[in-house]
Homo-oligomer: A and B are copies of this chain.
Amino acid sequence: MLESTAILKAHHLKVTPQRLAIFKMLRHTNVHPSAETIYNSLQEDHPTMSLATVYKTLDAFVQNGLVQQLNLGEDSYRYDADTSPHSHMQCTVCKSVEDIEQLQQVAPIKQEVQELTGYQLLSEQFYFYGICPECQKTAQ
């Protein structure tokens, strides 16, 4: 994995401790945190960092394609440092979000949409909702 500092520099973003902390945290988690979650989890190491800085930083990352903003129909956005094209799945019980990488069936559906609509397709977001294996066990 490339060094976080190098990636920020490559995008002409000034490397500050706050930015590094947010970026590294996002790259090392798979929980798809919200701005508030990020803020809280960095409170201990960066007690003076403000929520506004988290938002501004996340915005800068999204603008530069370093992070992807997820809109799962909750009250707030979630953020994902995995920028490869992939889908997301949310458990309707525990609200956790999982990445679904490399679905074979994405290409055919994109092609069908393109043929059907005449749109010049730029991107897509697939959100799946269901009950995760863990919560299925608990329910029994």
| A residues with CB within 8 A of B | 69, 71-73, 87, 89, 91-92, 98, 100, 103-106, 108-110, 112-113, 116-133, 136
Contacts and interface: CB of A to CB of B under 8 A. Distances in A.
Nearest to A72: B71
Given A103-B112, A105-B108, A108-B108, A129 B122 contact: yes
Q: Considering the complex of A and B, which 8 residue pairs feature the smallest CB-CB distances, nearest first?
A: A105-B109, A119-B130, A121-B130, A120-B131, A118-B133, A125-B127, A124-B128, A122-B130
A20 to B, nearest CB: 27
A108 B108 CA distance: 10
Contacts of A106: 109
A84 to B, nearest CB: 16
A113 B126 CA distance: 11
A128 B114 CA distance: 10
